[in-house]
Amino acid sequence: MAEDRKQETLESSETLPFIQKALVIPEKLKDSPEDETEKEEDNKDTACGFWIFRGPSMQRFATEQMYVILYGLAGCVMTMTFAYFNATITTLEKRYKIPTKITGIISVGNDISTMLTAALLGYYAGNGHRPRWMGIVSRLGLLTIVAFCLLTSSLHFLYGAGEDALKLTREFGQVNETLARQEKDKKLCQSSPGGCIQEVGQWVPQVFLFVAQLISGVGQALFYTLGIAYLDDNGTKSKTPAMLSMSSLLRMLGPAIGYSLAALCLRLYIEPTLEPLIGREDPRWLGAWWLGWLVLAAITLISALFLFMFPKELPSSRKRRLQLKQTERKMSLPLKERSFGDMMKTVRRLARNKVYVYNTFASILYFFGYMAYWIFTPKYIETQYRQSAATATMATGTVALGFSAAGVLISGYVISKYKPSARSMACWNAIVDFVTVAGILCYVAIGCEGSDRLNSLTTLSAGDSCSASCHCDYVHYAPVCSPENITYISACHAGCSERTKDALGRTIYTDCQCLGSSSLTTSESQFAVDGTCPVDCFNEFLVFLGVMCFLKLVGASSKSTNLLIALRCIPQEDKTFALGLGSMVASLLAFIPSPIFFGWLIDNYCLVWGKTCSSKGNCWLYDTESLRYALNFTAASFIFLGGFLNISVWYHAKDLKIFDEEKSPKSSSQNKELEMKSLNSKSQQN
């Protein structure tokens, strides 16, 4: 689906806040020689640029505002890659004959690696020096994404465009006319059973894609785990919503650009140098899915270089770190060590936090239900409304995501201006859940009767006893249209034994014995035209797109409110680990099982499989009506349950404070004096 809403919410759930606040000490300590050496190293760490691209003139860019921009743009590039993968899923299924449930398993590879690293990295890194961690791991994360892009695109260079795609080009017949004629004859009614279709190394592309996703998940965990936490701690709580909205807006551009890039690439044939004999609306069309990965690898590498220009640590963060170190030396307060036992105590403490538990599981249920649309929306549009892969991708990635961006901006403005309470935010999250359920139920009603009827008639033709005598079990999906406007899986299934060309150059199959009723069929009507019968579902597609954009707008508006509740419902010392743990649990219970479950559900409504010798291959045709009911009702059920958990969040969040109270300079100085006295008394007791 469009937005990679999966990616957006995933980012929010993986962001981990800074847990050590700076203490303002008016008195300075005399620096030791070791401190002087450390200061020299710190000056290097806070300087912009690298190698020869470093100087005082660039130091003015080492600001929190520039960090927000660079971090947002780097996140934009990262989300482009995930959106591009989702947009090309159907093409990958056709090219490498992958069932949808296997595609679901492949797509959760990044969630598996993220789950294994997020919580531990958040716990042990949270007590360390986060800015330096961020400077190192964010760059490494982007370079890992470069490897992900190159590994995915390498499949095309290893396996080529595929024999099925090459047979549908004009050059194929020109190079070998005899072989081309034999391939065309295989589509006709056969007097004896044909051999099954051999697929050499069919599992290797699936392993390649899964490993690439695992690598991308590592990069994602490295990049996002400490990012927004650093963002949250470099500003006051009142400014956090605006900063989160700006960062989210920049990242939201990524899915829009990624889907747009996919739409452009899929308009080109998988082998751009060859001339295809079919149009983009033909279900057999394979776009140049591999081309975009090369572009994404180059863009990601450039963004990594720009991030290398940014310092490992902001000067303001360095100042707080030095002040904290001086305070610890003066008061002789030992740093708290991290241990597994302490981590388990934190887990038990979080389990008793009702707001945290209910908010986490409400998000998990929402993620589980909406995951089907994040990943399979282009596929849904192609099958339900008979749109090309490029059109489905463009609608999902540009129009719909524009409404998501608007939702984030509007919510950020409203929250910053009116500063709603925690209960108001939880109430809005529940309302968004129930509105989403209503919108999904509208999806059930937005069907295309022509598409439903076409698929049912095609299924009847596949099971016809007449076509059984033609031995069509292993004939490639090559649809033909009869005069009765019935689509047959192939000329073989229509019982056609001859072919010819008409005045327009179209392929016409004649002497088709399985067309219509035998009592009404005449020799003049026993023909079929190459291609599926025309079906107009564009109006229904526009209605679906309108509802989807509305749900994007409403759903995105709850992103900031959900994140703020997650940031504020836990104490500072537990915040980093709590959000890391929430990310791990969300991956384990939602992000990983949901795509697999919905992939299995979609496969259950397949009508025509591309059979091979070793497996069923990919699905070419679905029972669109039954699939529409099953998919939407199932997804709505999970989100509906999540709405009730948000009501529980509303009930228990009555004492939760989201924003800092306004303080006068006088009261602020008094609070600092009281804080210093408290710290001095504690140090004396120790």
Average pLDDT for runs of 10 along the chain of length 686:
44 37 38 50 61 66 72 83 89 88 88 73 52 54 84 90 83 60 68 61 83 84 64 55 67 83 91 86 88 92 76 63 59 52 81 89 92 88 88 82 83 86 91 95 90 69 65 79 83 84 79 66 70 86 93 88 84 74 84 91 87 72 91 95 93 81 46 48 45
Structure tokens of 50? 């690298």
Query: In this structure, are 579 and 636 located in the same domain?
Result: yes
Q: Are residues 456 and 433 in the same domain?
A: no
- Residues 355, 289 share a domain: yes
| CB neighbours of residue 256 within 10 Å | 25
Q: Is residue 207 part of a domain?
A: yes
Q: Tell whether 424 and 546 lie within a shared domain.
A: yes
Evaluate whether residue 494 is within a structural domain.
Answer: yes
* Cβ atoms of 121 and 313 closer than 8 Å: no
366: domain range? 5-47+58-182+201-448+537-652
Residue 188, in any domain of the structure: no
Going by C-alpha positions, the residue among 277, 200, 187 that lies closest to residue 613 is 200
520 and 636 share one domain: no
How many whole angstroms separate alpha carbon 619 and alpha carbon 629? 19
Do both 367 and 516 map to the same domain? no
**Residues 441 and 499 both lie in one domain:** no
Same domain, 443 and 455: no
Does residue 192 fall inside a structural domain?
Answer: no
Q: What crossing angle do the helices spanning 538-556 and 5-14 adopt, rounded to 10°?
A: 10
Crossing angle for the helix pair 340-351 and 354-385, to the nearest 10 degrees: 80
Which of 478, 513, 530 is the endpoint of a domain? 530
pLDDT of residue 22: 33
Task: Please say whether the beta carbons of 123 and 285 come within 8 A.
Answer: no
Q: What pTM did the predictor assign? A: 0.74
The answer to whether residues 39 and 149 belong to one domain is yes
Displacement of CA 522 from its chain's centroid (Å):
53
Give the chain's domain count.
Answer: 2
| Burial class of residue 267, CB neighbours in 10 A (0-12, 13-18, 19+) | middle
**What is the DSSP code (8-state) at residue 662?**
P
The last residue of a domain, from among 500, 530, 560: 530
Query: What phi, psi does 500 have (nearest 5°)?
Result: -160, 180
Helix axes 240-267, 64-87, angle to 10 degrees: 30
> Could you give the CA distance from residue 594 to residue 367 in angstroms, rounded to a whole number?
8
**Proportion of the chain in helix, strand, coil states, percent, rounded to 5:** 65, 5, 30
Residue 486 lies in a domain: yes
Q: What is the pLDDT of residue 5?
A: 44
Torsion on CA atoms 324, 328, 331, 337, rounded to nearest 10:
130
Asked if residue 510 lies in contact with residue 482, where contact means CB atoms within 8 angstroms, the answer is no
Same domain flag for 236 and 301: yes
How far apart CA 369 and CA 440 sit, in angstroms, is 10
Whether 682 maps to a domain, the answer reads no
> Which pLDDT score, from 0 to 100, does residue 643 have?
93
Question: Which tokens sit at 285?
Answer: 């069309």
Does residue 193 lie within any of the structural domains? no
**What is the structure's pLDDT at 613?**
65
- Are the CB atoms for 212 and 92 separated by under 8 Å? no
Name the 3-class secondary structure at 592. coil
444 and 565 assigned to the same domain: yes
Spatial separation of the C-alpha atoms in residues 55 and 356, rounded to whole Å: 46
Q: What is the pLDDT of residue 8?
A: 44
- Looking at the DSSP assignment, which residues form a beta bridge with residue 488? 480
CATH number at residue 543: 1.20.1250.20
Rounded Cα distance between 215 and 154, Å, is 15
Domain membership flag for residue 382: yes
pLDDT score for 77: 85
Specify whether 512 is located in the same domain as 586: no
- pLDDT score for 499: 83
- Residue 630 in contact with residue 601, Cβ under 8 Å? yes
Strand locations in 531-666 (E): 606-609, 619-622
Final residue belonging to a domain, choices 530, 561, 596: 530
